[in-house]
């Protein structure tokens, strides 16, 4: 994507950025802004603004998972959220859906990542379904219920019965 596709970058700024090795909008988004500022004389604030605009104009690319997700991922489910770890990178607060898969499928595909827990866990990730991902279900520790202390009168009644 051309640098000129970012609002605020014209011919003059494009030339300065090109001389600093920034040829495309992608290059600008990935660049170290302080270093680019030193090379071009363009303020870091202006570069930061362009970087923000550049993220909006660059089309998102779909991540390609070449490995078997079942071998590189784990799911830890706690109540209605899960922690999904893929290649050692944790993704927390992933929603967990329960119930008939057909009933919740449409809602799940609206998300970037989701887990369905039926007879097994199914992971929705990268616009694809993954089954056979190792999972564990943890329950949050229940708060201990305090047994109310008996009143003096109740203790006296119990003593009297003895």
Q: Which residues contact 63 (CB under 8 A, 6 or more apart)?
A: 126
| Single residue among 16, 32, 57 that ends a domain in this structure | 57
Radius of gyration of the chain (CA): 28
Rounded Cα distance, 60 and 56, in Å? 9
Identify whether 114 is part of a domain.
Answer: yes
User: 77-101 pLDDT, tens per residue?
Assistant: 998 899 999 888 899 999 999 989 8
Distance CA 74, CA 123 (A): 10
Residue 43 belongs to some domain of the structure: yes
For 120-149, write each residue's pLDDT tens digit: 899 998 888 898 899 999 876 655 556 567
CATH number of residue 33's parent domain: 1.10.150
Q: Helix crossing, 44-57 with 33-40: angle to 10°?
A: 120
Are 40 and 79 part of one and the same domain? no
Q: Above 70 in pLDDT, residue 18?
A: yes
pLDDT at 55: 86
Query: Do 80 and 37 sit in the same domain of this protein?
Result: no
Cβ atoms within 10 Å, residue 30: 11
7 in a structural domain: yes
- The answer to whether residue 158 sits within a structural domain is no
Is the model's pLDDT at 157 over the cut of 80?
A: no
Residue 52 lies in a domain: yes
Q: What is the pLDDT of residues 23-79, one digit of tens each?
A: 999 999 888 999 999 999 999 999 999 999 988 888 776 655 567 787 889 999 998
> Are 44 and 75 found together in one domain?
no
Looking at residue 144, its pLDDT comes to 57
Whether 44 maps to a domain, the answer reads yes
Same structural domain, 50 and 75 = no
Number of folded domains in the chain?
Answer: 2
User: 43 and 79, same structural domain?
Assistant: no
| Sheet with strand 113-117: strands edge to edge | 128-130, 121-125, 113-117, 89-98, 81-86, 73-78, 135-138
pLDDT score recorded for residue 85: 93
Phi first, then psi, for residue 99 (nearest 5°) are 105, -170
Print the domain residue range for 106. Answer: 69-138
Query: Would you state the pLDDT for residue 88?
Result: 87
């Amino acid at each position: 994507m051309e640098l000129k596709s970012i609002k605020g970058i014209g011919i003059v700024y494009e030339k300065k950025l090109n001389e600093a090795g920034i040829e495309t909008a992608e290059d600008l988004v990935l660049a170290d802004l302080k270093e680019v500022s030193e090379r071009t004389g363009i303020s870091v604030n202006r570069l930061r603004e362009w970087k923000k605009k550049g993220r909006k104009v660059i089309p998102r690319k779909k991540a390609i998972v070449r490995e078997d997700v079942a071998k590189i991922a784990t799911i830890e489910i706690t109540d209605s959220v899960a922690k999904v770890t893929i290649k050692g990178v944790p993704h927390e607060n992933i929603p967990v859906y329960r119930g008939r898969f057909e009933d919740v499928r449409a809602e799940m595909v609206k998300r970037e990542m989701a887990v369905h827990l039926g007879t097994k866990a199914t992971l929705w990730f990268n616009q694809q379904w993954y089954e056979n991902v190792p999972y564990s279900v943890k329950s949050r520790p229940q708060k201990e219920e305090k047994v109310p202390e008996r009143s003096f009168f109740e203790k006296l009644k119990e003593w009297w019965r003895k």
